[in-house]
Amino acid sequence: MDRRSYQLAVVTTALTFALILVGEYTAVSGSGATCGLQWPNCNGQLLPLGLQIHDFIEQFHRGFAMVVGFFILGTGAVSWRNFDARDVKIGGVLAVVLLPIQVILGGTTVTFSGLVPWGYMPITQAVHHLAALAIFGTLLYTALRMRELVGRGVGSVRTASLAGLAVLPVALVFSRNTVFAVYGTRVQLIHHALELLVFSAALTALVWARRRRAGRAARAMVATLGAVTVQILIGTGVVQFTPTVHLAYYVLTAAVAGLFVLTARSTRGDAAVAA
């Protein structure tokens, strides 16, 4: 049962990752403020079939979010019921607690964008994105701890940090005004997916560093998570993308790279340490 619970947590985490990207696509494609300010219907329809393209995207996003929401509820239930570890119980429950907050924020930014003056402002979008990151991070933490408790042990901090370091330059290539002259929908979506992978690698390294009592590596990954989160928020448009902000993005990328290198060097040989 515990192994199936772990598998459910992994699937839920992957679906949440995909949902964040679907939400990104809905926003950057201009589909977020459609559906005539209706919910749960979209211009009189409940199902997305037959709707115009932007309405279809928004209604599909809503339906997918509902499905993922049920997976989150299920993961929270099995975390509480099938595991004795206090942090696993809290992790599962926290994801469930954050879920309605995210739904309300989504309604504010999409459904009520024309009814609430601040509904579609960058700051609201940023908070909405932070809530999504919090849910995703909580689920990833819970899945990693379940992995340990079902007998797969603690992974290598060095491997996780090197994975993040490998993705980082690719994310930089797809960042705004770096290689691609036009930061179009496809480029932006790939960029955000890569940033989420860097975030995932940093969180994974943090969890495993704490389990191995590698304090220096854990502190480095806390700083890395903070820097990557700021980078992600820059991409949501919470601040105007000026040359100064662009330079700050590059500085943050260099800092994240340095922190990954520091963590990899400080945990050399950790794979040989008993879990």
pTM: 0.90
Spatial CA neighbour of 164 closest among 128, 191, 200: 200
CATH code for residues 155-275? 1.20.120
- The least confident of 27-41, 95-109, 194-208 is 27-41
Write the pLDDT tens digit of every residue in 65-76: 889 999 999 999
Residue 114 or residue 3, greater confidence: 3
Spatial CA neighbour of 178 closest among 88, 266, 253, 255: 253
Q: Hey, where are the domains in the chain?
A: 1-153, 155-275
Q: For the chain, how big is the Rg over CA atoms in Å?
A: 19
3-state DSSP call for residue 45?
strand
Residue 77 has pLDDT above 80, yes or no: yes
pLDDT score, position 168: 97
Residue 250 or residue 110, greater confidence: 250
Percent of the chain whose pLDDT exceeds 70: 83
Confirm if 27 and 146 have CB atoms less than 8 A apart. Answer: no
Rounded to 5°, the CA angle 82-84-88 comes to 80
